[in-house]
Amino acid sequence: MIKIGVIGCGFIGTQICLAVDSGAIPAEIFGIFDFSDEKADAVLKLFKNLNGTPQKYTPEEMIESCDLIIECASQEAVLKYALPAAENGVDLMVLSVGAFQDPDFYRKVRETAAASGSKVYIPSGAIAGTDGLKSAAIAGLTSVSVTTRKPVSGLAGSPYLIENGIDLSGLKEPKLVFEGAAAEAVVGFPKNVNVCATISLCGLGFEKTNVRIIADPTISENIHELEVYGDFGHMKMTIENKPSPQNPKTSYLAALSAVSALKRITDPIQVGI
Ligand SMILES: NC(=O)C1=CN([C@@H]2O[C@H](COP(=O)(O)OP(=O)(O)OC[C@H]3O[C@@H](n4cnc5c(N)ncnc54)[C@H](OP(=O)(O)O)[C@@H]3O)[C@@H](O)[C@H]2O)C=CC1
Ligand SMILES: O=C([O-])CC(=O)C(=O)O
């Protein structure tokens, strides 16, 4: 059984731990880490210890002892721990994909993982269509765009809104709050549009992927619309995600995609990759 270390004990980290502890995945949670000891302790209390008994460790200790590190914390955590994991030949799953908008960092992680023989897994997250987009990219793409609509509570506190003095309180109608390249979107909305980073990596890159972010007080879902043109034809995909009960910024599907990726990693048969 592979030994897993989880960085981040919020919504996604908790769901991953529950899925592994249920025995449905041939893996063991070796350790967990969060800035907050209380959050880590709360997750430890949920374990029935069906597949081993996890403990709190530092990320460095988990990198020493685990086969796979799952980052479900923040872009800062990716910047801090992706290279040490790759240097140690440890596989990594990344949810805070926006950290890869820095091309030098992405290149270094890729080269280091290639040299040590480790893998970096990026689940499809809160969006669908990455399979078709990757296939379409083989023949050539002419445009890729993502429109994200979220309730106001899901966007609140984003650095872009604060830096640009955009106040959403009392909003009655949908409002376009950002339009531009994915490279800028994932920095300005680091907890909202990691999906755009994943789409960038599958398609045209961070500079050529167009992003629109709409604050919409009339909806309760996190909605992502993907539109792609290329030699393959035209693709349109809309997903209406239920936000997680614990974190309105994050859709339930994001956690499910991490669990599904874990199932694929540990399964000898790969379907629809
Ligand atoms: N790829 C995708 O499609 C998606 C990606 N995401 C991303 O996945 C990540 C996890 O999401 P979610 O579980 O909802 O987030 P939560 O905010 O619920 O949980 C994240 C936890 O990690 C902690 N944390 C942040 N940075 C660090 C660090 N460097 N070391 C240790 N702990 C840290 C946070 O602490 P604190 O609260 O104190 O910061 C928090 O307790 C987020 O970055 C989110 O933006 C989410 C949805 C979709
Ligand atoms: O969960 C979502 O709908 C999208 C999200 O937060 C992200 O991509 O960071």
Residues of the binding site for NAD(+): 126, 194
Is 224 in the active site? yes
- Average confidence (pLDDT) over 144-163: 97
Mean pLDDT of the chain: 97
Which position has the token pair 């908008």? 101
- Angle, helices 11-21/252-265, rounded to nearest 10 degrees: 40
Complex-level ipTM beyond the 0.95 threshold: yes
Cα distance between residue 217 and residue 206, in whole Å: 28
User: The domain 2-125+253-266 is classified under which CATH number: 3.10.129.10, 3.40.50.2300, 3.40.50.720, 3.50.30.50?
Assistant: 3.40.50.720
Tens of pLDDT, residues 171-218: 999 999 999 999 999 999 999 999 999 999 999 999 999 999 999 999
Among the bound ligands, the one closest to the CA of 74: 1
130-242: in CATH 3.40.50.1100: no
pLDDT band at 61 (very low <50, low <70, confident <90, very high): very high
| Total residues found in the chain within this entry | 273
pLDDT of the residue at 52: 79
Assess whether the C-beta atom of 231 lies below 6 angstroms from ligand 1: no
Which position has the token pair 């240097």? 87
- Phi/psi region, residue 68 (left: phi>0; alpha: psi -120 to 50; beta: rest), is beta
Which 3 state secondary structure label does DSSP give 150? strand
pLDDT at 249 over 90: yes
Tens of pLDDT, residues 228-243: 999 999 999 999 999 9
pLDDT of the residue at 44: 97
pLDDT band at 21 (very low <50, low <70, confident <90, very high): very high
User: Residues lining ligand 2, CB < 6 A?
Assistant: 125-126, 191-195, 222, 241, 249-251, 254
Give the angle subtended at the CA of 74 by the CAs of 20 and 80, to the nearest 5°: 100
Closest CA to 106 of 206, 4, 191: 206
Please, where in the chain does CATH 3.30.360.10 lie? 130-242
- Angle, helices 37-46/11-21, rounded to nearest 10 degrees: 30
Tens of pLDDT, residues 196-206: 999 999 999 99
pLDDT of the residue at 163: 98
Please, where in the chain does CATH 3.40.50.720 lie? 2-125+253-266
Ligand 2 centroid to 64 CA: how many Å? 30
Which position has the token pair 């048969």? 269
Cα distance between residue 41 and residue 45, in whole Å: 6
Catalytic entry in 224, 248, 253, 258: 224
Assess whether the C-beta atom of 56 lies below 6 angstroms from ligand 1: no
pTM of the model: 0.97
Cα distance between residue 3 and residue 129, in whole Å: 30
Ligand 1 centroid to 10 CA: how many Å? 6
- For residue 182, the surrounding DSSP H or E stretch is helix 182-188
Cα distance between residue 203 and residue 197, in whole Å: 10
Tens of pLDDT, residues 29-53: 999 999 999 999 999 999 998 887 8
Pocket test for ligand 2, best of 192, 209, 216, 220 (most atoms within 8 A of CB): 192
Task: Express as a percent the part of the chain with pLDDT over 70.
Answer: 100
pLDDT band at 273 (very low <50, low <70, confident <90, very high): confident
- Average confidence (pLDDT) over 120-133: 98
